[in-house]
Amino acid sequence: MEDTIILYPSPGMGHLVPMVELGKLILTHNPSFSIIILITTAPFDTGSTSSYIKRVTVATPSVHFHHLPTISPHSTTSSDNFVELAFEIPRLYNSNLHHSLQTMISQKSRPKASIIDMFCNSSFEVFTSLDIPTFYFCTSSANSLSALLSLPKAHQIILEKIKDPNTSIEFPGVPPIPTPDLPEPFLDTEGIAYTSFFGTAINMAKSAGILTNTCHAFEPRAVKAISDGLCTPNLPTPSVYCIGPIVANSDEDHEHECLRWLDSQPSRSVVFLCFGSMGLFKAEQLTEMAIGLEKSGHRVLLVEEMNVALALEQSESRFVSADELEKRVRELMDSVSGEGVREPVRAMRDCAKAARGVLGESSDGDAVTGFSLLVGVCGSKVGVAVGGSRAEAVSWMLICCGSAVGYIECTLNLN
């Protein structure tokens, strides 16, 4: 019987890759464990997951992918809301999941723990019914985790404030969020997505712990608020393990040409243009963005997703002009006030490298050790090599969120 850690990611590259990297990290510190990653088939485009899984299987044969039996087409949800689908798919797979776990246990595996994506919340009862200690993995920030865990506590406040665009909502350890900028599911408190997040928050508090893809130095206030129980005053306080930032190392054989271009650019000279993974724009807004970026005179690289720092002025229809975009890019890249944003980010970059073992001991070594003791997985620090010239080439990031250009952001230069 093999001691096994079972990982259950949500479909899609943005959730699969961090979970796979977590599995690799576990094996780095304790190669005697077996890692099984459960894969479900989604009724939407999940990106190049199949080719990615094949590459990982060849490069890291100790990471095993187990495809759960595909559910019949008539069982799939009819919802076209991505968040609702993300929660619904694991629920539909629960019966197949339970059967597969029983088969694994009876044949060759001795599960020491399971780690599930927050969108796989419906599987929590399946794992715990089989007496498998279950952790959650939050692939995003501690700030978003604080907001999620606070939903049961903040529910009444959200109900009272979401109709007033001039108010803000405060989650423990997080700066006030204007109600129009709340995540879309939070604005429909009777919707499936909101109730799914609500249920996830309750189960997270009852779980063996939460792993989050951040480090303490990035978000100390949010991490402390969660750990002190401020988010869950009427629920158990979950153990939180900051194990990030987890970033996939580059595959030299499959590296995109844009990364090679990035490596050839001068230090701190490139602006990242980011739409967010679900961002959609009208042609008029795209044209305006292109004009503003070209007039700024800075190199630009398009990526998919990060967070926000400097707000852009928008019209009532959330349209951002080329002049406003040009002004903000120049401010961020060329001005003294922009340096006030860039300098703290350089410090955060160094914190990220330290947490990943580039500059020495993991800044979150204690957290990783605590998680390790619970499941007997790894040592006292996280260490993943980081290198390459693109860390110097990439300077600051421009963020475009949702259906309109929203904010400007500086990168953490992790790679």
Name the 3-class secondary structure at 129. Answer: helix
Number of helices (H) and strands (E) in the chain: give both, helices first. Answer: 15, 14
Instruction: Give CA–CA dist 29/37, Å, rounded.
Output: 18
Is residue 64 annotated as a catalytic residue, yes or no? Answer: no
Annotated catalytic residue, options 99, 117, 254, 256: 117
Is 15 part of the annotated catalytic residue set? Answer: yes
Q: Which residues pair with 37 in a beta bridge?
A: 7, 65
What single-letter DSSP state applies at residue 71?
A: P
Q: Among the options 3, 15, 164, 366, which is catalytic?
A: 15
Q: How far is CA 271 from CA 46, 176, 321, 399, 407, in A?
A: 27, 27, 18, 10, 13
Q: In what order do the strands lie in the sheet with 34-39?
A: 63-67, 34-39, 2-8, 109-117, 134-138, 209-212, 240-242
Region of residue 367 (left: phi > 0; alpha: psi -120 to 50; beta: else): alpha
Q: Is 209 helix (H, G, I), strand (E, B) or coil?
A: strand
Q: Please answer whether residues 191 and 201 qualify as being in contact, where contact means their C-beta atoms are separated by less than 8 angstroms.
A: no
**Would you please indicate which residues are annotated as catalytic (active-site) residues?**
15, 117
